Amino acid sequence: MLNFVLFGPPGAGKGTQSQKLIDQYQLIHISTGDIFREHIKNQTPLGQQVSALIADGQLVPDQITIAMLEEEVDSNPNAKGFIFDGFPRTVPQAQALDEFLESKGTGLAGVIALDVDQEELTRRIAQRQKETGRVDDQADKLQKRIEEYFSKTVHVLPYYEAQQKLSKVNGIGNVDDIFAELRTVIDNY
Ligand code: AMP
């Protein structure tokens, strides 16, 4: 199996690059943010449970997120591998993912962090808010998401660095150039 994490702050381009990676590698893409938004749209019990947190830009508790992620992996038993997008966002999530994959006799090939500076992130998200109307892209909520990123999510990077699994890719520039850089990393797994 080929499993890897696409990592980066809100607006880094994880969604855009994931689309291209799915086509290239025929992997299953799991975006926890997309799954939560689907639950909210369909007003499922999980959607009702998490909608206020997400609208406010806060992280969903680990226990809920991990259970949802595991269920999603389990529902794709024939997958050639997975691209994890937006997960893990905390160290306990990263540990749970390692344990879960290990229990299935597999693991992460690596973690690719898309590097984008704060100014560019703010510009991109303002644009996305105009295009999609995502409530959590509004300026005050976005601020909270960026704070969540810098208080909790960045700690995931040293976790993977210690395992020598972390690669950084410059996330600014032409979409196809960034994609080519990602492919170079992945083709070396
Ligand atoms: P995203 O589309 O990845 O930016 O996710 C949108 C929102 O969903 C986040 O701001 C969180 O509220 C929630 N969310 C997505 N993934 C996770 C995660 N791994 N852990 C906790 N909350 C998450």
Tens digit of each residue's pLDDT (9 = 90 or more) over 22-74: 999 999 999 999 999 999 999 999 999 999 999 999 999 999 999 999 999 99
**The domain spanning residue 17 has which CATH number?**
3.40.50.300
Nearest protein Cα to ligand 1, atom 6:
33
- Write out the residue range of the structural domain in which residue 134 sits: 2-180
User: Is residue 187 a part of any domain in this protein?
Assistant: no
For the chain (189 residues), the mean pLDDT of every run of 10, in chain order, is 94 93 96 96 98 95 98 97 97 98 98 92 88 88 86 94 97 96 97
Residue nearest to atom 5 of ligand 1 (CA): 33
pTM: predicted TM-score of the whole model, two decimal places: 0.94
Whether 56 is in a domain gets the answer yes
Q: Is 168 within a domain?
A: yes
> Is 11 within a domain?
yes
Instruction: Report yes or no on 186 lying in a domain.
Output: no
Q: What is the pLDDT of residue 140?
A: 86
The pLDDT assigned to 29 comes to: 97
Q: Which atom of ligand 1 is nearest to the CA of 56?
A: 12
Number of domain units in the chain: 1
- The DSSP secondary structure of 20-51, one letter per residue, reads HHHHHH-PEEEEHHHHHHHHHHTT-HHHHHHH
Residue 50 lies in a domain: yes
Ligand 1, residues 30, 89, 138: which to mutate, most atoms within 8 A of Cβ? 89
Has residue 109 been placed in a domain? yes
Q: Whose CA is nearest to atom 1 of ligand 1?
A: 33
Report the nearest atom of ligand 1 relative to the CA of 50. 12
pLDDT in the model for residue 20: 96
CA 122, CA 69: separation in Å to the nearest integer? 28
